[in-house]
Amino acid sequence: MEKPTKRKAFNFLRSYFDVINELENDTDKLNFLMAVINKQFLDEEPKDLSFIVKLCYASQKHAIESSVKGWKRVTNTDLIGNPTTNLPTNPPTNPPTNPVQEKEKEKVKEVTTTEIINFDDAFNICLFSEQWKKDVEHLYKIDRNKIQYALNEFKLHCGTTGDNKPRSLNQFKKHFTNWVRVKQQYKLKAN
C-alpha cells in the first residue's frame, strides 16, 4: 500500500546506524527503523514502542525532527504536499536556481552570531558561508575543498557523541575550529 508523501529521501545519519547496532534483537531494530522512516516520510509520531526502542528513538529525536522541519521549511509544504501557511503571498519573479542554497544564504544574513540556533542550522550556515570558509582556510591552512569534508566529519562526530545541541553560531564555529586544531595536533603526534 502506497502511503501519501511528497518527500523523496532523507539523510540516514551515522548516529541512527550506531543506535541500531546497540539493539540486540531484530524486532527492536525494525521498530526503531520504522519509527524513523514513518516520522521522516509521514511526520507520524511513533506508537507502541518497547521501552528500549523508545529510549533509542528519544536519543535521535532532535536530529529526526530537525530533518522533517528543514524539509517543510525549504519546500513550504507538509510531507503530503499541502502548502504551509508561511508561503510568500507573491512568488518571486526569478526563482533561485537552487532553493536550498538560497534559503541557507538568507539564513546567514538573518541569524545573529549570539542567537541560540539548532546544530543543523549552524552547520548549514557555515557550509554556505564562503567568507567563513576563507577565514578557516587562512587560519588553519586547510584547503577550502577539505573544509566541507571536515564540516561533515564534525557533524557526524557531534551526532555520535551527542554534542549536536543548540548553541550560538559563534559557539558552533569555535567548537568546530577547536575540533580541527585537536585533530591536526593528533595527526602531528601520530606521525
Domain count, the chain: 2
The verdict on 184 and 115 lying in the same domain is yes
Residues 36 and 167: their CA atoms lie apart, in Å, by 25
**pLDDT per position as a tens digit, 4-43:** 788 888 888 888 899 899 999 999 999 999 999 999 999 9
Confidence at residue 20, expressed as pLDDT on a 0 to 100 scale: 92
My answer on whether 70 and 106 are in the same domain is no
| For the chain, percent of residues with pLDDT exceeding 90 | 17
pLDDT of residue 149: 84
Do 28 and 63 sit in the same domain of this protein? yes
Determine, yes or no, domain membership for 83: no
Are both 143 and 185 inside the same structural domain?
A: yes
Quick one: 173 and 110 in the same domain? yes
Q: Is residue 126 part of a domain?
A: yes
**Lookup: cell for 53:** 526502542
- Kindly state whether residue 26 falls inside one of the protein's structural domains: yes
| Number of alpha carbons in the 13 Å side-chain half-sphere of residue 22 | 14
Predicted structure pTM score: 0.45
Q: Using a CB cutoff of 8 Å and minimum separation of 24, what contacts does 10-13 make?
A: 10/40, 10/41, 10/67, 10/71, 11/67, 13/60, 13/63, 13/156, 13/159
Domain that holds residue 124: 99-190
Q: Is residue 69 part of a domain?
A: yes
The answer to whether 104 touches 128, Cβ cutoff 8 Å, is: yes
- The closest of 119, 39, 30, 29 to 79, measured between CA atoms, is 39
* Pair (110, 186) in one structural domain: yes
108 lies in the same domain as 70: no
Q: Choose the final residue of a domain: 75, 107, 125.
A: 75
Does residue 127 form part of some domain? yes
Is residue 89 assigned to a domain?
A: no
Query: Do 30 and 109 sit in the same domain of this protein?
Result: no
139 lies in the same domain as 67: no
107 and 166 fall within a common domain? yes
Whether residue 2 is contained in a domain is answered as no
Say if residue 107 is in the same domain as residue 164: yes
Is 91 inside any structural domain? Answer: no
pLDDT tens by residue, 78-121: 887 788 765 444 444 454 556 655 555 555 445 566 788 888 88
Same domain, 130 and 170: yes
Check if the beta carbon of residue 5 is closer than 8 Å to that of residue 80: yes
